[in-house]
Amino acid sequence: MTESAAGSTIPRRILGVALRQARMRAGKTQVEAAEAIDQSEQTVRRIEQGTVPTPAGKVDNLCRLYGSPEQSREALKALARETKSTARRWWHSYGDVVPTWFEVYVALEQMASRKRCFDPLLITGLLQSDGYIEHAIRAVEPKQSDEDVAASAEVRRSRQQLLSRTFPAPLRLDAIVAEPVLLVDLPDGVMRAQLWKLLKATELPNVTLRVLPLSAGLHRASVTGAFALLDFPDEGVSPAAPTTVYSENRTGAIYSDAPPEVTSYEEDWTALEGAVLDADHTVKLLSHRLKELVDRER
């Protein structure tokens, strides 16, 4: 089967994760799942690995076996229909048939072995302090209730466990932070706590944090905006999961594993790496900024 005939790998991988998690929550085995859709255990394994497209009818049967609520069934069936698409880019529109509770990006992030990310306006979510998380959420969605803010914050905090998990191996994170992000003025010592968290992150063996200084001027990624590159482990699955680009805006997100687009973003990443401060100078800049805030708040 050719790559195009297999369809976009992104919905398939996300659907596989969702079905595997639903099966495990229900306490069902792959053998039981295979019987429910009249397929082999190997086919169920391939579905959960995201290597084959899955008809919506079989997804519905699996969801019923797992006791998934109707909203989940409809969302996963919609995703199953996407697995037959030949598009190499996949668009997830917030508020579309896949509801906001279905955390597409979180699923991919959990599967990844390495994440490279750049955001010119925010600290990456995996390195945000508690106070910064709340301020960031309220800045983007000022009308959210306190309960919704708390729920969103808990999701973001739980994602940070990827950096310290024991199995599979912790996510390798390469993050580039633009210097203006460090100069944002936040109340109640929030930025001071955030800078401290960033400094502690530089001590983790699986985290590389570097600052893009103001002195770098204009660069290749100046018009790219925030993006992430997700690399996936080789699990002996053929074809292996390709590197995926993720980029979002207010109304949705684009996921792409098309080689030309991945190559373009990797070239942006290489250009950024050539302009950032090295590890030692990054720590010095963070420490200097932290000292400024501490002195000012005394």
* Rounded Cα distance, 77 and 267, in Å: 36
Long-range contacts from 37-40, C-beta under 8 angstroms, 24+ separation? 37/61, 37/62
Which of 74-88, 179-193, 195-209, 238-252 comes out lowest in average pLDDT?
Answer: 74-88
Residues 6 or more apart whose Cβ sits within 8 Å of residue 155: 103, 106
- Cβ(123)–Cβ(207) under 8 Å? no
Residue 94 has pLDDT above 60, yes or no: no
Using an 8 Å Cβ cutoff, are 214 and 54 in contact? no
- The two structure tokens encoding residue 287: 């420490």
| Residue 184: pLDDT over 80 | yes
**Amino acid present at 153:** A
Tokens at 5, concatenated:
């005939």
Angle value at C-alpha 68, between 62 and 73, nearest 5 degrees: 70
Tokens read off for 202: 């530089």
Contact indicator for 108, 127 with CB cutoff of 8 Å: no
Question: Cis omega before residue 239 (within 30°)?
Answer: yes
Average pLDDT, the chain: 87
For residue 112, pLDDT over 60 is answered with yes
Least confident of 86-90, 109-113, 188-192: 86-90
Percent of the chain beyond pLDDT 90? Answer: 56
What is the predicted pLDDT for the residue at 108? 83
Average pLDDT over residues 164-176: 94
Structure tokens at 256: 């792409």
Residue 276 pLDDT exceeds 50:
yes
Structural domains in the chain, sorted by start: 3-89 (1.10.260.40), 104-297 (3.30.870)
Per residue in 124-159, pLDDT (tens digit) is 999 999 999 999 999 988 888 999 889 888 988 999
95 phi and psi angles, rounded to 5 deg: 85, 0
Name which residue leads in pLDDT, 35 or 249. 35
220-234 pLDDT per residue, tens: 888 888 999 999 887
CA 272 to chain centre: 20
Is 276:176 a contact under the CB 8 Å cutoff?
yes
Query: To 10 degrees, what angle do helices 70-82 and 9-26 make?
Result: 150
Report the percent of the chain where pLDDT is more than 70: 88
